[in-house]
């Protein structure tokens, strides 16, 4: 209730966002994206983003509801008001900042290359990836990066979900995959017992693609809502909750 009043206050003061009820904040998320957002066998939504998102909502005294949305429609879905925020391991970068507003980063993992254990590719570059098939999730920063840097020589295969990338890696239909490190590690290295490894450099640059880590996204006019999440994130970092969740999902 308090947030509703203060949001309306902001609306009246700035003439920005329309007066609307954020008693329930709907959060869009693309699954499966292990270990960030996925369903347990019994159907429960879980993962680092889900647990952190729920903790942030609790801290901010907001009611939140997760809305499942395919990655390629996730920014349009936010703009079309199908949901009010995106918490889906979304990388903050300048291109996206033109369209949407980001919270402070809540995590800053690199991107990484994954190959079968016996692969001869030791350092991915224009030359070593010539004629190879590279798997990415469509519309991700990894897709944008390989499209711009390897697009002319390699065959880039774009998949709807990161799980589909892992499935085709396992089926031997891909030479290499380029994914957010935590997801490639969970989906390939940890879960497919010894079949896959990381190769080459982990990438956090160029910033044009890999930006400033993962953020929660909002419509541009919802600055007040973004600030509410930033405040809650700072509080969870201060009181140890963030750390507990982080070590639960990323023990090493």
CA distances from 130 to 121, 124, 127, 167 (A): 11, 10, 5, 23
48 CB-near residues (< 8 Å, 6+ apart): 35, 36, 37, 107, 182, 245, 246, 248, 249, 250
Q: Which is nearer to ligand ARG, 91 or 230 (CB)?
A: 91
Is residue 242 a contact point for ligand ARG (CB under 6 A)? no
Smallest distance from ligand ARG to CB 71, Å: 5
Q: Which is nearer to ligand ARG, 59 or 140 (CB)?
A: 140
Smallest distance from ligand ARG to CB 79, Å: 17
CA dihedral 150, 148, 115, 205 (to 10 degrees): 130
Q: 252, exposed or middle or buried, with CB in 10 Å at 0-12, 13-18, 19+?
A: exposed
- Residues 100-159 touching ligand ARG, rule: CB under 6 A, are 137, 140-141
- Residues 68-107 touching ligand ARG, rule: CB under 6 A, are 71, 88-91
Smallest distance from ligand ARG to CB 15, Å: 32
Task: Point out which residues pair with 159 in neighbouring strands.
Answer: 137
What DSSP string describes 137-152? ETTSHHHHHHHHHHTT
**Contacts with ligand ARG: how many residues (CB under 6 A)?**
13
Smallest distance from ligand ARG to CB 222, Å: 19
- Residues 164-223 touching ligand ARG, rule: CB under 6 A, are 180
> At 110, phi and psi to the nearest 5?
-85, 175
Smallest distance from ligand ARG to CB 82, Å: 16
Smallest distance from ligand ARG to CB 41, Å: 19
The residue within the footprint of ligand ARG, chosen from 7, 10, 28, 33 (CB under 6 A), is 33
Candidate ranges 15-23, 29-37, 188-196, 197-205; the one touching ligand ARG (CB under 6 A): 29-37
Return d(Cα 244, Cα 54) in angstroms, integer: 14
CA distances from 27 to 22, 34, 99, 121 (A): 11, 18, 17, 39
Q: Which is nearer to ligand ARG, 138 or 219 (CB)?
A: 138
5 CB-near residues (< 8 Å, 6+ apart): none
Q: Which is nearer to ligand ARG, 8 or 32 (CB)?
A: 32
Residues near ligand ARG (CB under 6 A) are: 30, 33, 37, 71, 88-91, 137, 140-141, 162, 180
């Amino acid at each position: 209730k308090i947030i509703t009043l203060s949001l309306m206050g902001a609306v009246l003061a700035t003439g920005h966002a329309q007066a609307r009820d954020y008693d329930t904040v709907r959060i869009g998320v693309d699954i499966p994206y292990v270990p960030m957002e996925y369903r347990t066998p019994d159907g429960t939504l879980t993962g680092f983003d889900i647990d952190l998102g729920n903790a942030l909502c609790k801290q901010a005294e907001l009611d939140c509801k997760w809305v499942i949305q395919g990655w390629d429609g996730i920014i349009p879905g936010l703009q079309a008001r199908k949901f009010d925020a995106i918490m889906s391991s979304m990388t903050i970068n300048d291109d996206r900042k033109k369209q949407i507003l980001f919270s402070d980063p809540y995590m800053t993992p690199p991107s990484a290359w994954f190959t079968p254990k016996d692969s001869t590719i030791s350092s991915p570059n224009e030359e070593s990836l010539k004629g190879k098939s590279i798997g990415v999730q469509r519309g991700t920063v990894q897709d944008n990066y390989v499209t711009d840097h390897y697009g002319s020589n390699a065959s880039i295969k774009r998949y709807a979900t990161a799980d589909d990338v892992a499935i085709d890696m396992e089926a031997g239909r891909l030479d290499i995959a380029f994914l957010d490190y935590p997801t490639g590690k969970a989906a390939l290295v940890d879960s497919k017992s010894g079949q896959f490894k990381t190769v080459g450099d982990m990438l956090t640059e160029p910033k044009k693609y890999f930006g400033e880590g993962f953020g929660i996204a909002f419509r541009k006019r919802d600055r007040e809502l973004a600030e509410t999440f930033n405040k809650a994130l700072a509080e969870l970092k201060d009181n140890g909750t963030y750390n507990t969740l982080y070590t639960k999902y990323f023990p090493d």
